[in-house]
Amino acid sequence: MSSGSIRTDHRPVNRHIPITAGLTGAICLAGLASGLEPAALGESIRCEVRAVAIDRPAYMVVDAVVRGDRLLLPDYTNGLREIDLGTGADLRSVLPMGSKRGQVTGPQHLGCGGGRCVVFGDRYFWIYYNAGFEFIDEYPGLTTGAGAQPLVFADRMVVAGTASPEISGGGVPFLFVQYDDGSVVPLQEYPTGMGIPEIAKRIHFQGPTAGGVDRLADGGWVYVDPRSYGVFVFDRRDRLIRAWRGTNPRFRPPNFAVYEPVHDDSGREYFSRWSLAQTQVKRPVALGPDLIGIVVGIPDGEFQQRHELDLYRLDGSPVATGVDLPGVKGGRIVVADAGLGKIVVVGQSSWEPGSKTMAWKVTVRGLEH
């Protein structure tokens, strides 16, 4: 299913670092996917999209968490911001910027769950807070790092990112479980024979705007590999129980052959030009006990993508694919952790830092039929 390797031996690998603990609207109709669902279901599905302009643009959208009517947005130059999702106005700065213990500099990744939140920034520390953002503890993140939004449970995190090959004893892990006792369980890794330049290309692509993880209603979780549109379903004990591929007809695997990383000031623009010309499958969203939604970015002109929504049962049966999300367009788009049954998309009009920032609240209607 994946172009990397899947580990089936879930043996914890000990680390030397301990871990503890206004508004516009649009309506779209779903195109019925050919599959196991009756025509009436696909035809009844529609989505409502509400766009909210964020008053102060973010430097660069990476992760986003929605709780109620509040958007928590890690902003590289302005700390962790709490924003009114109804108006787009900033309410407060949640965490102080600084280099001292418990403070953040360049916050990028944010994950919340199990009564706590974890922030990862350019201090390269995993910083733990309780649900009220009172500091708990922090630990160096020198052997593991996030690429996409970490999925936080009460005793562990599921991370789509990178870990040191020393942890796996083989290839470079890109999907792993990081426990509070300091152990790491690699789940998927790049093949040992893959060269560092090719691994670097895939690390660049598999980030905030492509792929990721979300929790399921039964305590399990699901991972989407953006390179293959592979979908991997895990139970609450982190055991792989299903694997299948998405069926969006516009999906194309990324063309790594034409991308060579550039290591100077033009590198970000060069990467953005290439990555936005690839199909970007986003992190999944659990919409019910047996339904997940996956937002797919489709190239739409230079440095731009429009977006569609695919719906699947957990066994891979398509409910609908290619549901147009009108107005959800830009140069950097991520899917927020908004909780079970909710889709909130956050993004920027351009790949350039500081560009116009938006949030789109997507409501899927007609599923009750």
Q: How many other CB atoms sit within 10 Å of the CB of residue 344?
A: 22
Beta-bridge partner residues of 29: 46
On the question of pLDDT at 271 being above 60, the answer is: yes
Express each pLDDT in 100-123 by its tens digit: 898 888 888 999 999 999 999 888
On the question of pLDDT at 36 being above 70, the answer is: no
Q: What angle (nearest 5°) sits at the alpha carbon of residue 160, between those of residues 156 and 164? A: 85
Q: Which domain holds residue 243?
A: 5-21+23-365
Can you tell me the mean pLDDT for 163-181? Answer: 90
CATH number for position 233: 2.120.10.30
Domain count, the chain: 1
**Contact (CB, 8 A) for 133 and 97:** no
Residue 4: predicted pLDDT: 58
**Contact (CB, 8 A) for 276 and 303:** yes
Express each pLDDT in 286-298 by its tens digit: 999 999 999 999 9
Instruction: Collect all residues with Cβ–Cβ distance below 8 Å to 360 and sequence separation of at least 6.
Output: 49, 50, 51, 52, 325, 327, 328, 344, 345, 346, 347
